[in-house]
Chains A and B, each alone.
Chain A
Amino acid sequence: MQATYCTAVCVVSLALLVPAASGQSSQAIPPSEANFFIGTPAGWAQPKTPWGDPDLQGIWPLNNVGFVPLQRCYARQRYPGADPEKIANCDPNKKFFTEEEFKVLQETASKQSDRFTAAAKGGEAGRAFLTGIVDDMTPQRQTSLIFDPPDGKLPEMTPEGKRLAAQMKSTWPLPGENPVWDSYHDFDLWDRCITRGMPVSMFPFRYNNGLQIVQSPGQVVILLEMIHDARVVSLDDNTPLAPAIKQWMGLSRGHWEGNTLVVETTNFKAGASATNTAVIASPPGNRFPTSDQMKITEKFTRINDQYLIYEIKTEDPVVVTRSWTARFPLKVEPNYKLYEYSCQEDNRMVPDWISVSRAERAGGKPDASSTPPRR
C-alpha cells in the first residue's frame, strides 16, 4: 500500500515536471473524421488526478449519441431526416454526414416538439409519462455507432449464434412473431430488471442514459444509471482471473496506454442480448446472443475539457464470425442528474403481461386502457 503511494507521488512529481520541460504548449488538433470533428485546442493539457492518473471523471451521458443508429444504412433506422428512399440509396461506405447534411439534422432536431413537457404543462401527467420520457439527444456527424466491420453493420452470426438466438425470448417481437407469455422465462433480462448486459449497457437508450466515471487510486468505476450498475475496473490487476466466476457485466481490468484508459472485460455469464431495440437501428427482438467466451475491450480517451472518445470492441467467437467495434464521442454534462433506477421493486410487466396474454388467448379482448405500457 505504501509503495503504491510512493509510486503515486513519484508519478505526480513527474507529471509536474514533464509539461514544464516541454514548455506546456501542445499543438492544436483540428476537427477531422479521426476525432469526430471535435478538435483539441492548442495548449490543452490532459487533466490529472492528484495521484497522477489521467482524469476522466465526470458525468458523460450516453444520450449524447442517442440519435446515432447502431448500424449504418440499416432498414429499420429511424434517426431524424431518415426516410425509406434515403435508406435505399444509403452509401454503406459513408461514415460521416457532410457539413450541409449535418446542419439539416441539427435544424430538424431543434424543431422536435417536447411531447412530455407539453402534456405535463397541460396537466396530463399520465399522458406525459406515456409519451416516453426521452433524454435530450444531440445529432452527430457519424452515420452509425459501429465503425468496424467497415460497412457499419453487425457481423454475421455463427450457426451456433443463430441457434442461441432462436432460443431467446423478449417482449420485443420479431417481425411476424406473435409471442405469448406464460412465465418470466418468456421475457428478456432487461424486461426482468436483471441487467441490460454488455456491450449494450454502453450504448444510448431512450432514457436514463446517465454514465458517471469516478476514479480512485487503483480503480475506475463506470456508474450506469439504468438498472443501477457500477462497473468496477481494477487497474493493473495481475491476480489470476477465476474462470469459474461468470457475471452479467463480466470482470473488468484496466490499464493506461498514455492518456487512454483501456478496459478489458471477460468472465461473462452467457445469455444476455448484445443489442437492444432501445438503441436505434438495432436488430429486432433483443435476441443477439452473447456467450461466456465474449471479450470486450474499451478505450476512453479525453480529447479536451468537454469530450472524450469512447471505443468498444466486442469479440465473441461462439456467436459472431468476427469482432465488431463501435466508436463515438461523449460529452461531459455536469448538470445531468442520475436518478435511482429502481426496477425490480415495481416491475409489473412480468405478471401483467402474463395475465393479459392469457386473457387474449382465452378469447377475451383486453380493454386497451388496461394494457400496461412498456417500460
Chain B
Amino acid sequence: MIQCAMVYFTPSKADSSPFAKFWKVLIVPKTLEVVPLAIIALLFSLQASAQPPARQGSASGIPRMPGGKPNLNGLWQAMTAAYWDLEDHSAQAGPVIELGAIGAIPAGRGIVEGGAIPYKPDALAKKKENYANRLKLDPEVRCYLPGVPRATYMPYPFQIVQSENDVLIAYSYDSAARIVLTAKHREAELDSWMGTSNGKWEGDTFVVDVAGFNGRAWLDRAGNFASDNLHVVERYSMLDPNTMNYEATLEDPTVFTRPWKISFPLYRHREAGARLLEFKCVEFVEDLVYRDAEKKPTR
C-alpha cells in the first residue's frame, strides 16, 4: 500500500500545484496511513517547484513505447464537472425542469488556473448571453462537433491511439476524431470545429498545437466560448500507469485579455471489456432540431 502510494506521489513532485492539491484531497481521507507520505510529497513538490522546467513531466514507472516515449494508449476520461462550467460553481438545478435531479448540475471546482477566465468586457457580455440562451445556442445540445479542448473533459471517454509517430484521438461523443501529426506537420488550411493538430514530444510530455478553429464550438455548457482566433496548446503527461495530467493553454486575443490555462487529470478506464463505444448523438436530437420544420403547416 505504502509502495503503491509512493508511485502515485512520485510524479506529482514534478507537477504544478493544482494537481498536487488534487491528490492530497483524494488520497488522504481514503487511506490515513499515507498522510505522512502526503506531507513528504508536498515537501517534494515545494522543492521541485524550484527546479528547472526541463525536469518537469518526466515520470518513472509509466508505460513506454518501444523506443522509450511514454505510451499514452488507452481509454481515458476526465473526472471533473468542468463540462458544465470550467469555473468554480455550486450545485444547481439544470436547464430542463422535466429532468429533475437527473439533469441537475453537480458542484465542481473549476479547472481554470487562477480561477476566472480573463474575458474582454464585450466577450464577457457575450458569455452571459450565451448562458442565458444555452439551450438554444450550445452546440452540444444539437450534437455538433465538440472542438478542442472541450472534447477532453466532456462526460464521455476517448481513446488515444499512439503510433510511433502520429497519434489519433477518437472521442465517443459524436464519433469525433482527430489526427495529431508529429512526423510531417500540416498547416491549418481550412477552419474547422476540431482544428488542425500538430504534435511534438518535450521530454515525456506530448505537446499538441491546435489551430484553425471555426469559432463555433463552445468550451462548456455555461456559455464559455472562444473565437476563430483561438490557438490551443495541449500538454499530455503520464503521471503513473493509469493517470495522465492534461493541460491546455488557450490564447485568443479576440476574446481574452491574456492566454490562460486549464489543467486536470485524466483517468484510464480499467473496467473489464472497456472499449470506445459509439455515441452518435445526431439521431437523439432530431426530434428537437427538426421540430419546427416538421410542424410548419402546409402552405
In the assembled complex, the CB of B224 is this many whole angstroms from the nearest CB of chain A, namely: 19
Q: Please report which residues of chain A, range 140-195, place their CB below 8 angstroms from some CB of chain B when the two chains form the complex.
A: 182-184, 192-195
Q: Does the CB pair B273–A355 fall under 8 Å?
A: no
CB distance A232 to B282 under 8 Å?
no
Chain B residue nearest to A240 (CB atoms) is B273
A192-B286, A216-B162, A358-B299 given; A340·B66 CB < 8 A: no
**Does A223 sit at the interface, judged by CB under 8 A?**
yes
Size class of the B contact interface (CB-based, 8 Å):
35 or more
* CA distance in complex: A355, B282 (Å): 21
Q: Which of A206-248 contact B (CB under 8 A)?
A: 212, 214-219, 221, 223, 227-230, 232, 234, 237, 239-240, 242, 245, 247-248
What string of 1s and 0s marks CB contacts (under 8 Å) between B136-157 and chain A? 0001001111000000000000
Nearest opposing residue in chain B for A239, CB measure: B273
Residues on A with C-beta less than 8 A from B290 are 183-184, 350-351, 354
Q: Is the CB of A232 within 8 A of B192?
A: no
With both beta carbons as reference points, the residue of chain B lying nearest to A338 in the complex is identified as B179
A242 touches B293 (CB 8 A): no
CB distance from A102 to the nearest CB of B (A): 34
Q: Is B96 an interface residue (CB 8 A)?
A: no
Is the beta-carbon distance between B145 and A345 smaller than 8 angstroms?
yes
Residues of B within 8 A of A354 (CB): 290, 293-294, 296
Which of A49-57, A66-74, A76-84, A295-303 touches B?
A49-57
> Could you mark each residue 321-355 of chain A with 1 if its beta carbon is under 8 Å from any beta carbon of chain B, else 0?
00000000000000001111010110000110011
The answer to whether B161 has its CB under 8 Å from any CB of chain A is yes
Contact A215–B163 (Cβ < 8 Å): yes
| B122 part of interface (Cβ distance < 8 Å) | no
**B63 on interface, CB distance cutoff 8 Å:** yes
Chain B nearest Cβ from A224, distance in angstroms: 9
The answer, yes or no, to whether B215 is at the interface (CB within 8 Å) is: no
> A109: CB under 8 A from chain B?
no
Other contacts beyond A223-B168, A232-B161: 6, CB < 8 A: A216-B163, A221-B168, A230-B170, A240-B273, A344-B282, A358-B298
Enumerate chain B interface residues (CB-CB to A < 8 A).
Answer: 63-67, 71, 73, 139, 142-145, 159, 161-164, 166, 168, 170, 174-177, 179, 186, 189-190, 192-194, 216, 241, 272-273, 275-278, 280, 282-283, 286, 290, 292-294, 296, 298-299
Closest 4 CB pairs of A and B: A351-B293, A230-B170, A340-B192, A230-B177
Q: Give 11 CB contacts A-B under 8 Å.
A: A12-B66, A183-B290, A192-B282, A217-B71, A232-B159, A232-B275, A245-B277, A337-B186, A344-B144, A345-B139, A351-B292
